[in-house]
Structure 1
Amino acid sequence: MRSYCRWSLLTPKLTIPNAKLRGVKLIAQATAGSWSILHISDTQFGKYHRFSGGPDSLAKRLLEDLVSLRDTVPPVRLVVLSGDITERALPSEFREATAFLKGVLEQLALTTRDVLFVPGNHDVNWKDCEAHFNQREARGLEPVAPFKPKWSKYASFRRALTGETTLHSVVHRPDLRLSAVLINSTVRESHQQHFGWCGEDQLRELAGQLREGALDLRIAILHHNVRRGATDDNENLLDEREFTRILGPYLTLVLHGHTHNGRRDYLSDGTLVLSTGSAAVSSAYRPDEVDNQYQVISFNDGQLHRWARRYAADEKRFVADSRIGPEAHPGRESIPIVGTANNSSARGPVEGVSRKARLRLGQYDEDETLRDGKSNGL
């Protein structure tokens, strides 16, 4: 397997004068070095994981497919895992996940610095959460939200892999001109209630970190669906409105999982949202019409390029997902990124109503002033 991905990871050195927070106008320049993101979600290592070890491992199937795409897909520089890494947040399941990630990173000539991941609802240990409730009750006390013991196994996994235990953060990669916002959407998950929630404190903290040092390409990564008409559906992020209001002004793209189906959507301010389906959950635990999936994303010339892949069980390999893209190029689509230098007229389905939306629609000049002479105010 050592021969799988011997692609060159070298990219041209970029010089961007006066690079600062200018919306997304510099994306075309910042991504000229052609690289890509491998986005995986809902591996759910454990009882319902589809792939066995050895020759039928998920890592082997993914890497074989990436090799088949090497003539069209730029070299992978980041691996994103958007939650539900395990089935029940057991130590044995996190060990399987660690082995999987290390194997993928090794074959792509990457390090643990190049993997970005967040917790999903399945990465919350309900038994640890219930034990916290019981221990507090035994002392005549109320449980203390957000019930931190529920994350103890995930935190150990994160520390072992990256040396960090924080459940949310902003990661800056100057070499890629990218800022990644890692969001914990399991704040209110427990053994008693199940829905996505970030909380205003977390969102404001992350927005503050972005204000201080955001780079040109800004990607938010979380687990729960951010666009499903969030009401009482346990698949949804119930504080989507606050997410959009507080973090939206600083984002280029949102990546998430949980839906078990790849789709494209937009926040109400026009920010692009992409999800991918489960990479490895067995068919009994995902919709009948939905195969296992993953996607590769790159940025160039003011556009996002997406390769959507699905697992063909009868062929034991990943193939193009024909539900994505035009008939002429099944499984591939190019999406204008609003506000870039080459696509100032592109927009999501919702008309820009905020200053940030106007920036994305090319109504600000690169010196961060409105064309009518008023201040940007970002």
Structure 2
Amino acid sequence: MNSLILHISDLHVSLENKLEGERVNEDSYLKIPDSKELSKHFIDKFIIAAKEECGKNKVYLLITGDITDCGAKLEYDYAFDYISLIIKELDINKDNILLLPGDHDINRKSIEDLKYSKESYSIEELNECKFKNFSDFYFKLLDKPFDSNKVIFDILNFEDKILFLGINSSHLIDLENIEGKIDIEKFKEELLKIENNDNLKYIACCHHNITSSYEDKNRGQWEIVNRGRFLTVLEENSIKFIFSGNEHTSSCKKITGDLLISDSGTISSKNYDSAFKIYELQNSENIILQNNIYGLQKTGLNDDQYYWQKRTNIKARQEDVFEISIVKPPLIDEYKELPSEEVVTSSEEVEKSIISSISSQIKVYYNEKYSDVLYDKIKNLNLFHSGHFHWSETSRAHNWIDVSKLIENKENLDFVKNAIIDVIENKNLVEKIDLIIGLGYEGNIISSKAAIKFNKPYSFLPYSYRHDEHHEYENQLNFDNSNNDYKNILIITDVVNDGRTIRKLIKKRQFEFFKNVENIYVVSLLYTGHSKLNYNILNYDFIKTISGYDIENDEEINNIEYYTVKSLKVEKCPYGKDFRDECFIYKDNLSCVNLFYDESKYINK
């Protein structure tokens, strides 16, 4: 007999008729009270499917939040009946259940009542108030109290191999703060107090998704700064797995380092990914959990309703097998492929990727504290502009990122400068470089703090294609390199696309200085090109292999090592040298066409 973990989430038992201060959720199969018979039928069909898959194996139950939709008492009354039936029919010991609250399990009306009844109240009072209905339900179901003021409020020991940590990610949610957030210091203190004499592996369980599969944001629905600190604590304690709910997608994703996230999907959604998971413990030298996804099939009126079926061969949606290894895997730099925000693979592909990454020496930079936050700033400030931007004969793109607007704000400017410093430190460039060059106006601004911090000689240069716009004194480096004093140069700039500008600067504009340089390191805030991100993509020998790339006016430079804070692919204008005649948007002034630099001479309208 094997041991299984049945993972369900987001039941959203919902009120069918609106009560004062509550909403009506149209997306749940579990509607009450008028549709309670249909809801009961839905649960019965789920139990039949789960029974068939679990067989006579020992079942542990994990419920990752949003049991109800509004946290109303009536919703909890019916949720109690449904979950009690699941426990009974699958013969689950109550000691083998981990039940987490979600943000929908908070009764927000009770928070409003508290605000009106008291001028001030503590966090402890607020938590007891907002979780009152959940706490009553929790005690009634599991015969033990729920501590609303703990971050790690419960622990589930799975076969003396894994400790599942019940984390209340709604701990700090109120009427204003709606994203997942926890007290990090409290979390660290509680983690230290856990008795783990057998050195069991930890899996963090929370309601809020720490990353996204459906939504176009990498950070999921977790407060961004708190998320970064939370992930850091997990990494420090070698916690490599998070089981969650909330997003309503049965995804399994690998993010920073070797941290893997598994979301069961919502069990009762009419419109989204109605699914549940079963993790099967395999006997092995290492602890291996088999990840199985069961989805609700959409049926016709004449078919059997609520039919669950195991999903297979969906590489983009699940990891077939994921492993909790006893031996810590080797540390490698993360490999990220554009335009994806994350690497989503099977465990076999992960292993191949690790081997491939090491053998090919792919080196990239990624730090969610800077990479993800920078992306959020670009979105929130609307810095990604639509249109046709024609900078020069060889530089034409659809859309553009306005970095100058980003650094107008002091807070954002400090963030950007620190991001550049983090890349330099992360990639151990400090001891390698003899001189720092800020390239372009923005590059000059964002590199100044690094030059001061690392006490390196510093100079500024304009972009090679804006060379003629500057006085000759501005176009020259204030350093003599005839004696080979500067062998390793760091160039810092805001945006890099294909690197042509930098190669032209090195080979044509500043050849006398750079002819004695052995290594050139380039760090940018953003990479907008199309290549798979690695340290080698700005070298001529790499560029010339790209199909359709115009190498006629390029320069042959092959000693560049490149890193960037964030990758954002920007589409190129698909037309060649005859774009003035072939690109109808350019030719007929459709949409917005922005002409820059040497293109200005063609303005005749």
In structure 1, the residue matched to 2:208 is: 224
CA contact (8 A) 1:230 1:237 kept: no
Give the 3 Å change call, closer, same or farther, for CA 187–282 of structure 1 in structure 2.
same
Of residues 247, 259, 282, the one that matches 1:259 is: 247
Aligned counterparts of 1:79 and 1:98: Cα–Cα separation in 2: 15
In structure 1, the residue matched to 2:145 is: 164
In structure 2, the residue matched to 1:311 is: 296
Aligned counterparts of 1:62 and 1:176: Cα–Cα separation in 2: 29
In structure 1, the residue matched to 2:122 is: 144
Residue 281 (1) aligns with residue 281 (2): no
Unaligned runs of 5+ in 2: 16-24, 337-353, 355-605
Structural mapping, 1:291-306, within 5 Å: 291-300=273-282, 301=284, 302=286, 303-306=288-291
Q: Relative to total residues, which structure has the larger helix share, 1 or 2?
A: 2
CA contact (8 A) 2:64 2:206 kept: yes
Bigger radius of gyration among the two: 2
Give the 3 Å change call, closer, same or farther, for CA 349–101 of structure 1 in structure 2.
farther
Aligned counterparts of 1:234 and 1:245: Cα–Cα separation in 2: 16
1:258-309 deviation digits (Å, cap 9, x = unpaired): 01111112352412210121101333xxxxxx33111111232343211111
CA contact (8 A) 1:181 1:220 kept: yes
Aligned counterparts of 1:234 and 1:309: Cα–Cα separation in 2: 23
**Cα displacement (A) at 1:38:** 0.5
**Cα displacement (A) at 1:65:** 1.2
Structural mapping, 1:43-82, within 5 Å: 43-47=11-15, 48=25, 49-51=28-30, 52-54=35-37, 57-70=41-54, 75-82=57-64
Give the 3 Å change call, closer, same or farther, for CA 241–65 of structure 1 in structure 2.
same
In structure 2, the residue matched to 1:268 is: 256
**Cα displacement (A) at 1:76:** 4.5
Aligned counterparts of 1:40 and 1:133: Cα–Cα separation in 2: 34
In structure 2, the residue matched to 1:236 is: 222
Aligned counterparts of 1:41 and 1:348: Cα–Cα separation in 2: 33
Alignment: residue pair count: 303
1:203-250 deviation digits (Å, cap 9, x = unpaired): 213321346546523221100011249989882353221212223424
**Identity across matched positions, percent:** 15
Give the 3 Å change call, closer, same or farther, for CA 43–50 of structure 1 in structure 2.
same
Partner of 2:14, secondary structure, is: coil
Corresponding letter in the other structure for 1:319: Q
Corresponding letter in the other structure for 2:60: L
Aligned counterparts of 2:3 and 2:42: Cα–Cα separation in 1: 23
Of residues 85, 107, 111, the one that matches 2:89 is: 107
Q: Out of 296-305 and 51-60, give the one that drifted further.
A: 51-60
In structure 1, the residue matched to 2:168 is: 184
Partner of 2:256, secondary structure, is: coil
**Cα displacement (A) at 1:44:** 0.8
Aligned counterparts of 2:198 and 2:166: Cα–Cα separation in 1: 13
TM-score (norm 1): 0.70
In structure 2, the residue matched to 1:134 is: 116
CA contact (8 A) 1:264 1:275 kept: yes
Aligned counterparts of 1:333 and 1:128: Cα–Cα separation in 2: 41
**Cα displacement (A) at 1:143:** 4.2
Corresponding letter in the other structure for 1:334: D
Partner of 2:261, secondary structure, is: strand
Aligned counterparts of 1:230 and 1:117: Cα–Cα separation in 2: 29
Aligned counterparts of 1:82 and 1:90: Cα–Cα separation in 2: 18
Aligned counterparts of 2:176 and 2:72: Cα–Cα separation in 1: 18
Residue 335 (1) aligns with residue 321 (2): yes
Residue 36 (1) aligns with residue 4 (2): yes
Give the 3 Å change call, closer, same or farther, for CA 180–233 of structure 1 in structure 2.
closer
Corresponding letter in the other structure for 1:35: S
